[in-house]
């Protein structure tokens, strides 16, 4: 059960990361796009800098990461 939830959280986070990366490239910010591909934490920085445009994908990335940590802790405690 926790494995399926972890995969869903991973998928949500990955979709948000991809969304932010594609937006960085499409806005003409080539260096930000490459940075998001190479160093994924830069997506968080770019998302916060462009919060008015990227609220949903930023929430997906943060929510996916927090969910993965919570599922891992919960899985360890209940095992």
Going by C-alpha positions, the residue among 16, 68, 67, 69 that lies closest to residue 43 is: 16
DSSP states of 26-78: HTT-HHHHHHHHH-THHHHHHHHHTTTT-HHHHHHHHHHHHHHHHHHHHHHHH
Q: Where residue 79 falls among pLDDT bands split at 50, 70, 90?
A: confident
Q: Are 62 and 14 in contact (CB under 8 A)?
A: no
Reported as a single tens digit per residue, the pLDDT across 25-68 is 998 889 999 999 999 899 999 999 999 999 999 999 999 999 99
Reported as a single tens digit per residue, the pLDDT across 12-29 is 999 999 999 999 999 888
Please tell me the predicted confidence (pLDDT) of residue 14: 95
């Amino acid at each position: 059960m926790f494995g399926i939830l972890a995969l869903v959280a991973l998928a949500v986070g990955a979709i948000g990361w991809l969304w932010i990366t594609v937006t960085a490239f499409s806005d003409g910010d080539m260096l930000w796009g490459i940075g998001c591909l190479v160093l994924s934490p830069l997506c968080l920085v770019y998302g916060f800098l462009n919060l008015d445009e990227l609220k949903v994908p930023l929430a997906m990335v943060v929510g996916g990461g927090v969910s993965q940590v919570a599922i891992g802790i919960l899985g360890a405690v209940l095992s």
